[in-house]
Chain A
């Protein structure tokens, strides 16, 4: 078990190293970093001086090592547009993104599983067919269109919910939260639905397909033959077996939620990391782009690792084979 976790952790580090290399290459080779620091009319000698002071004359490998060292110490460089350390910019924006992603995931999981189970158990009802049709639309429509539609309905037409920003936030140490104020909570609703809708439809379709599959298995037939109540068969046996593969996919989706928040944050002008990243792409702010890439990669890799470990906890078969392999 421990050996398995260690092996997976090592793989994760390897992936991170590759992403780090890409981030470094962006930093180093996409445009001349010197140009970002000095003006266009700076004399050549001064340019060379800046170049030397930045260490850009060193061998590439040395530069990568230095970059990696900096990153590990939390130093992602200075933003070109804001002239501030990237790390503090990201830290300032992180709570907004994480709270939004959390709400979107809770929404996607709870509603997605509920609707999926309903569609699997009551396959022929009109409501199940409606869910199926809506899910097809949800999977097809671009996130930003859904966001605009929600704003049009609930902000412009009905005036119930705010269309941009986080509302009032409360500072807890370095973390700012919107969970503690009414306006903060209200501001979360539309962005969370927009961000979670795609994952929700995905989870719903997955749960439905998985559960229909499980309902056909021998052990479900046997559970029926044992005279168990329909509730025990459906929720004790079928649902539990359905959720094992769903966990993996849903877990992996959590990572995409954070990446997809780029779009949602732009639609709702949500002051998170995604909005920062989009502004960085628009203004060619390479340090922020590189740092964001690394951060998202780190989040993905961590989630993958956690999901793998969780999987072995839920499924006794894997626990054993993993134990044997170790």
Chain B
């Protein structure tokens, strides 16, 4: 963990609405090391995508970063002026969006979009940038790149477009890539290819990846560590093997129970009763307590802070109580 690329400390994101301030992200902290893939999971609305948007500085008004720090290789980036933050985007942090069908400008050739990105961030000539664009397309596995570079987005299939989007994210060799649900909109058969590609690129270039998804299968497949988010907070964060095989937080345990496995006898998948609270009605104490099977009195009044448990950190009073008892 010595080679930390991204370090997020106590990050809070708030949205000003007519009815008051809504806190979408509340005190989130995590690190991502060079070449590491951090999976971020949770139900929709848990704050995964907002966290990604906060890191790359693309939170749309009326949202804003309300507290905490984001540092990239030791340099604080959450308070940069807009023009300097723009130079960080694309150059040092790349981003991959969920839907490749709508991520590319339909009116420009894919090559023009890649060349535009490269030339925005480097001093390469038009010709050199084009050569680099062809190399990038080849690297992300697009066949006949010297011909396809002059194609329009609509001439590519969904999987191929997501490869183009990845090439665009990689165009300026960023240190960190934020992949926001990169496989959700794709066919199942293509999903695995894209994940494999992402893993290989990350390994070859030593890029750190923040992989946002609600798909535990993708996490188990690709991530080194995983952060489980619930109601804008991290419930549990740790090595993927620990969190998947031996989840501590009751919510994480519920999530893992919802993954079908080959060894289990076929039957109903486990389900967490109830649904995540809306931002307007987050309960006092632990946000998960109304749905928690192991809820006790302290959960209803006091919010749990993350506590180290083995190699993981878990925000749950159960483990605090155990330590106290021990």
Contacts and interface: CB of A to CB of B under 8 A. Distances in A.
Direct contact of A and B (CB under 8 A): yes
Interface of A: 217-219, 221-230, 232, 236-237, 240-241, 244, 314-317, 320
Contacts of A227: 86-91, 117, 120-121, 172
15 contacts: A217-B102, A218-B102, A221-B58, A222-B97, A222-B165, A225-B89, A226-B116, A227-B88, A227-B90, A227-B120, A227-B172, A229-B120, A236-B116, A244-B107, A315-B106
A225 B97 CA distance: 9
Nearest to B106: A317
B89 A222 contact: no
Contacts, number: 80
Contact of A241 (B56, B107, B117): B107
A222 B104 contact: yes
Contacts of A228: 86, 90, 116-117, 120
Interface string B83-111: 00011111100110101001111111000
Contacts of A219: 102-106
A39 B72 CA distance: 96
What are the 3 tightest A-B residue pairs by CB atom distance, in nearest-first order? A227-B90, A227-B89, A225-B95
A280 to B, nearest CB: 46
Contacts of B87: 227
Chain A residues touching B, majority SS: helix
Given A227-B88, A320-B155, A222 B103 contact: yes
B90 A237 contact: no
B152 interface: yes
A246 to B, nearest CB: 13
Contacts of B108: 237
Contacts of B152: 316-317, 320
Nearest to A224: B58
B99 A218 contact: yes
A225 B107 CA distance: 18
B158 to A, nearest CB: 14
Given A224-B58, A227-B117, A241 B105 contact: yes
Interface string B157-178: 0000000010011011000000
Nearest to B114: A226
B154 interface: yes
A209 to B, nearest CB: 19
A314 B121 CA distance: 28
B106 A226 contact: no
Contacts of B97: 218, 221-222, 225
Nearest to A215: B60
A221 B105 CA distance: 10
